[in-house]
Amino acid sequence: MNKIYKVLFAFGTRPEAIKMAPVINEFIEDNTFDVKIVLTAQHREMLDQVLSIFKIKGDYDFNIMINRQSLEFVTTTIIKRFSDILINEKPDLVFVHGDTTSTFSCALESFYKGIPVAHIEAGLRSNDLRNPFPEELNRRLADNLSTLHFCPTKNAKNNLLNENILSKGIFITGNTVVDALNKIISVSKINTNTNKEKNTKTILMTMHRRESVGVPITSVSKAVKEVIEENEDCELIFPVHKNPAVRDLVYPILGNKDRIKLIEPLDYISFIKLMNKSYFVLSDSGGIQEEAPTLRKPVLLTRELTERPEGISSGVVKLIGTDYKNVKRELTKLIKDKETYNEMISYKNPFGDGLASKRILLYVKNYFNLKCSNSAKTGEFE
């Protein structure tokens, strides 16, 4: 009788859940693996929404979310509770994703227990440990604690090679967010051919990162307000993060203004539908840089640098910073200049082709020397 390998997926935020879900489902459908799911759940409501969409249930739920939780609290709580689970379950492989505190904490405790770690979305680098904070350090540490590195792009793989991480454990898969988004588009019957002329151009805005709180959000909000006031054919929709520090800055500037709608955070499907109907996106998000190109939506990125340079080099994302004058200029240009807009939506998605999850399954089966019957494309994503 063939051995059943136990794999454990650990995550706690909505972005992790979105990008882990298609991988989890691939492993659940393969009878070679016993799948266990650990939810650290520092994002409670938003995490549950995604799990419901993809019909995933956790085997363990830390439910650690508290108001104004600190990084120290999240890190130490996860490490302690995850240790007990590893002792109980004794998995053959632990999956972590991306750059969250869950990613680092679970990778570290797995390393302590001598359990190999598979890092999905490995190798991204901004090369500034304070930006994004603490994500850049979390990802670097997780990479150095991992045995298997599933990189979304060739650039990410090269980052790892330059850091002397062994090439035999590095694989280019594409980003699993494309797999997840394709699933949502399919089940929700979203028509992605929406870049036609409309009477009103909807600008979707999100801004919430730690390094954005303060002058950056204030500066961008003031620029946005003036651009909307000066362009009567435009409206702004901003699902405002629940962080009080964000809300205290945004509402005094953008609240109670014509053609500006400040709304509560949306569930994932509703957010994708809103992004799909928008003209373009103004954001400091990491995931949106990967999702918007799938929907053929330009992204103006309100950050000083990005760990996802592929979007910049391919032309689908433009890095504009947070300076008031520059943000206003770039917003106005994309609204007024149809040629610039068309150029930004003419490129293919540099982040994935929808087969990343299948590649990860095949690479893991190879790692365990298992027979691979999956007929999906096995070559690396290019």
Q: Which of 139, 140, 149, 208 is catalytic?
A: 208
| Cis peptide bond upstream of 132, omega within 30 | yes
Which phi and psi angles does 107 have, rounded to 5°? -65, -40
Q: How is the beta sheet containing 60-61 ordered, strand by strand?
A: 60-61, 33-39, 5-11, 93-97, 117-120, 148-151, 170-172
| Domain identity same for 163 and 54 | yes
Q: Do residues 234 and 335 lie in contact, with contact meaning Cβ atoms separated by under 8 Å?
A: yes
CATH code of 280's domain: 3.40.50.2000
Annotation marks residue 119 as catalytic: no
Annotation marks residue 241 as catalytic: yes
| Domain identity same for 361 and 223 | no
Q: Which of 121, 179, 310, 330 is catalytic?
A: 121
| Domain identity same for 116 and 228 | no
Nearest in space to 105 (alpha carbons), one of 124, 86, 121: 86
Angle between helices 287-294 and 176-188 (to 10 degrees): 50
| Domain identity same for 110 and 158 | yes
Q: Do residues 108 and 82 lie in contact, with contact meaning Cβ atoms separated by under 8 Å?
A: no
Q: For residue range 179-198, what is the model confidence (pLDDT) as tens digits? A: 999 999 988 888 777 655 56
Nearest in space to 304 (alpha carbons), one of 286, 289, 323: 323
Please give the full DSSP string across 229-275, using - where no structure is assigned.
HH-TTEEEEEE--S-HHHHHHHHHHHTT-TTEEEEPPPPHHHHHHHH
Q: Which of 43, 149, 209, 241 is catalytic?
A: 241
Is residue 374 assigned to a domain? no
**Helix segments in the chain, DSSP class H:** 14-29, 45-53, 71-89, 101-112, 135-145, 154-162, 176-188, 215-230, 244-254, 268-277, 287-294, 309-314, 324-336, 338-344, 356-367
Is residue 183 assigned to a domain? no
Per the structure, how many domains does the chain have? Answer: 2
| Domain identity same for 210 and 70 | no
Nearest in space to 310 (alpha carbons), one of 138, 150, 156, 139: 156
Q: Which residues, listed in sequence order, are joined to residue 237 by a DSSP beta bridge? A: 204, 261
SS3 164: coil
Q: Which of 16, 26, 92, 135 is catalytic?
A: 135
Please give the span between the terminal C-alpha atoms of the chain, in angstroms, as a whole number. 38
Annotation marks residue 99 as catalytic: yes
> Low-confidence residues of the chain, pLDDT below 70?
1, 43, 194-198, 373-378
Q: Do residues 173 and 204 lie in contact, with contact meaning Cβ atoms separated by under 8 Å?
A: no
Is residue 372 assigned to a domain? no
Q: Which of 99, 143, 284, 290 is catalytic?
A: 99
Question: How far apart are the C-alpha atoms of 294 and 291, rounded to whole Å?
Answer: 5
> How big is the CA angle at 367 (ends 361 and 370), to the nearest 5 degrees?
75
Q: Which of 44, 210, 259, 329 is catalytic?
A: 210
Question: How far apart are the C-alpha atoms of 234 and 238, rounded to whole Å?
Answer: 13
Is residue 100 assigned to a domain? yes
What lies within 8 Å, CB to CB, of 74 at 6+ separation is 40, 42, 64, 101, 102, 105
| Domain identity same for 102 and 85 | yes
Say which amino acid occupies 287: G
Instruction: Quote the domain boundaries for residue 169.
Output: 5-175+353-367
Annotation marks residue 34 as catalytic: no
Task: Indicate yes or no: pTM above 0.95.
Answer: no
